[in-house]
Structures are given as C-alpha cells and as structure tokens.
Amino acid sequence: MSGRGAAAPGLRLARAARALSCAAALSALSGCASRPALLASHDDYAAYRATRVSRTLEGRLAAASAYLERHPEGAFAADVRAYLARAEPIYYAAKRGTAAGLAAYLATLPRGAFREDATRRLRALVRERSAGDLLSRAARETDAQLSRQRAERARIREELAAWLRRFLGREAWGRPLAEAPAEVIVPFSLTLPAPLCAPAGERAAPGAAVCAKRIALPFVVNAGGESAPRQAEIEISVLGDAAGRPIEVAIRGPDLFTRLEEARSAREVAPDDPEGRIGGIALAVELARGAFAARVSGDPSCGRQVEAPVVLHLECEGARLVARAASEAGEDDAVTISVAPAAR
C-alpha cells in the first residue's frame, strides 16, 4: 500500500505533463492559438504592426487597407477589418466637405468604401471651382477693360486742358520755341509724334513758319447698346516768326468739342444731336475758362462779347484766348491763344 501511494503523485504529474503537451500540439495543428502573433508570418505581422504604429491617422488607415489587400486571410485580418469599418466612416465624414479633403481621402484609401461618392463629389467641386474661376477672371478682365476705357476717355479732357495751360503760361512767349520751358518743349518737341514745320505762307510775315503735331486719342462709347470706337484728334499748331518765337498757338481738331462730350458721357453724339453738340461746346468753354483763370486771370472782366461761331473770348493782361466751334463741314473746332511775352 505504501509503495503504491508513494508512486501515485509522480504518476499523476507525468500524466498531467503529457496531457498539456498534447493539448498544445493539437491547438497548433488546428489553428486555434489564442495569440495570432504566434502563428503569423514575419511579413503578416510587419504589415499589421504598421496599422498600429503609423504616426498619422492617414498612415494607419492606408496601412490597414494595404494589409487587407495583401493578407485578406491573414492572422490579424479580422481585427484590421473591424478597425477599418469603425475608422473609415469617421474619417470620410470629416473630409467630404472640401475638394482638398476628398483628394486626401482618395489618396489615403484609393479603394475605400466611399471612393465612388468621393470621386463624384470631388468632380462636382472641381467643376464649380473652375466655373467660379472663369467667372472671377471674366469679372476682373471686364473691370480692367472698363477702367482702361474710362482712362482713355478722361485723357481727352486732360490732354486738351494741359495744352491750354502750357501755352497760356507767359514764359512760353517772347523767345524761340526751342528755348521754351520744359513743360512746353518736352511734350511738344521731344515727345512723339514729332512736330512737322513748314513755311507759314504768303499772308504771314517773311520767314514765319508753322510747327504742328497731331495727337490721336482713341476711346470707346456706347452706341445703341453696343461699343463703338471713337478717336479724338488734337492738333497743336504754333505759328512762329523768323526767329522761331511764337506768335499764335491754335489747338484744334475735327469735331473736337463733340468728342469731348462723348468722352464725358461715354455715349455716342450723333451729327443731328444738338443737345450733345451744345454739351461738348459748354465743356470746351469750361476747360478754356479754367486754364485761363489758372495761368492768367479769373476776373469776369476778362470776358468779351461773342458771336457765332465764336463761343468764348477772354482777354486780360496781354493774353488772348478765342474758342470757335466749327460751323461748316470741313472746319475744325479750335481754341487760339496769344500772350504778350514776360519782361526779361
């Protein structure tokens, strides 16, 4: 009895060890290990590990998608599939509102569950943005064109006023034109187009000459709801004596006063539009009065009685300005100036 009792514990331990060994072997053969890592290949485990240790959500999602593509039956496929099913909808909901977000989703999960919806939304947003860009660019181009046209129209008034002021300055008279102040000689002689000079003719004093330059100023007006090109021409003509000293300056142009009104109103003034013509004459008179007041005098006593075709006659302190509106075909609207030279 004592021998059998002493041997019993050892026998029981040996039997238990054999049973554990058999259970482990059976479990390994049947694929039912409690820890998949013990059964996973090195490549399987490395791919799974990337789904856990990537530093960004995008990196983990991309790694999860790549794992399931490479190891659809891998040791960790069930866990990765469950993670992706939870995380992808949340990620897509955060990204679906913008083109950049949708592009990020498609880059991260090109075969994701929402790829079709993401592609459709992204195309729609790109079309909208492209249309918006086109409209915005068209608006900018239209604004630039309108601004350029306003500047072109404004230049006609500015150009006429500038030439009136230049030659109403007393310093431009009593000396050869080549010795005139820079404000006169630079725009007249040194700025294109260059002036052309010719003998004044038999009715002028011997040796007298006329030097003239013509400036073309294109602009656009509205004519019956459509854009119509216009061109104002301003000719600056200087009659000089044999020594080249100015005697009289004429600033003229075909329908110049009408072009002034068109540039001011941005609308066409037809030949049979008396109101438009009168508006242009009034504007020319206003510019001439302003220039005379700035360089000579603004005293009302400088004004003289006028009779058509003269529309303005100012004379003060040795300066004389006469504006004439063309009354016959082929005539120019014109403003003539003569100024007594300053004492030197």
pLDDT of residue 303 exceeding 90, the answer is yes
Residue 24 belongs to some domain of the structure? yes
Q: Residue 37's pLDDT is what?
A: 59
Q: Residue 226's pLDDT is what?
A: 87
Q: How many structural domains compose the chain?
A: 2
| CA dist., res. 245 & res. 177, Å (int) | 6
Q: Residue 102's pLDDT is what?
A: 87
Average pLDDT, integer, range 81-101: 90
Residue 8 belongs to some domain of the structure? yes
The DSSP symbol for 189 reads I
Provide the angle, in degrees to the nearest 10, between the axes of the packed helices 274-295 and 115-168: 60
Residue 55 belongs to some domain of the structure? no
Matching residue, tokens 């909808």 = 89
Residue 231 belongs to some domain of the structure? yes
Q: Is 197 helix (H, G, I), strand (E, B) or coil?
A: strand
| CA dist., res. 163 & res. 225, Å (int) | 33
| CA dist., res. 288 & res. 235, Å (int) | 16
Angle at 142 between CA 138 and CA 146, to 5 degrees: 175
Residues making up the chain, counted from first to last: 344
Structure tokens of 331? 């005539």
Same domain for 187 and 313? yes
Q: Which residue, among 234, 252, 220, has the nearest Cα to 324 in the 3D structure?
A: 252
Please check whether residue 259 is in contact with residue 276, taking contact to mean a CB–CB distance below 8 angstroms: no
Number of Cβ within 10 Å of residue 101's Cβ equals: 19
Matching residue, tokens 């592609």 = 119
Residue 92 belongs to some domain of the structure? no
Provide the angle, in degrees to the nearest 10, between the axes of the packed helices 77-95 and 57-70: 140
**Banded model confidence at residue 310, pLDDT cuts 50, 70, 90:** very high
pLDDT in tens, 242-293: 999 999 999 999 999 999 999 999 999 998 899 999 999 999 999 999 999 9
The one-letter code for the residue type at 58 is E
> What is the residue-averaged pLDDT of the chain?
86
| CA dist., res. 220 & res. 39, Å (int) | 84
Number of Cβ within 10 Å of residue 189's Cβ equals: 15
Same domain for 22 and 163? no
Same domain for 334 and 195? yes
**Banded model confidence at residue 142, pLDDT cuts 50, 70, 90:** confident
Domain assignment of residue 7, given as a range:
1-32
Residue 118 belongs to some domain of the structure? no
Q: Residue 27's pLDDT is what?
A: 33
Residue 128 belongs to some domain of the structure? no
pLDDT of residue 12 exceeding 50, the answer is no
**Banded model confidence at residue 321, pLDDT cuts 50, 70, 90:** very high
Q: Which residue, among 270, 268, 252, 263, has the nearest Cα to 331 in the 3D structure?
A: 252
Greatest alpha-carbon pair distance for the chain in Å reads 166
**Banded model confidence at residue 38, pLDDT cuts 50, 70, 90:** low
CB-count burial class (<10 Å; 0-12, 13-18, 19+) for 45: middle
**Banded model confidence at residue 40, pLDDT cuts 50, 70, 90:** confident
**Banded model confidence at residue 309, pLDDT cuts 50, 70, 90:** very high
| CA dist., res. 246 & res. 172, Å (int) | 8
Strands 209-223 and 226-240: antiparallel
Average pLDDT, integer, range 160-174: 96
Q: Which residue, among 310, 286, 282, 189, has the nearest Cα to 238 in the 3D structure?
A: 189
Q: Is 91 helix (H, G, I), strand (E, B) or coil?
A: helix
Show the beta-strand stretches assigned E in the chain.
196-199, 209-223, 226-240, 246-253, 310-316, 319-324, 333-339
CA atoms within 13 A on the CB side of 237: 18
pLDDT in tens, 215-231: 999 999 999 888 899 99
Same domain for 160 and 24? no
Q: Residue 206's pLDDT is what?
A: 86
Average pLDDT, integer, range 63-70: 91
The distance from CA 62 to its chain's CA centroid, rounded to whole angstroms, is: 42
Residue 317 belongs to some domain of the structure? yes
pLDDT of residue 31 exceeding 50, the answer is no
Same domain for 160 and 20? no
pLDDT in tens, 232-256: 999 999 999 999 999 999 999 999 9
Same domain for 179 and 315? yes
pTM over 0.75: no
| CA dist., res. 333 & res. 330, Å (int) | 10
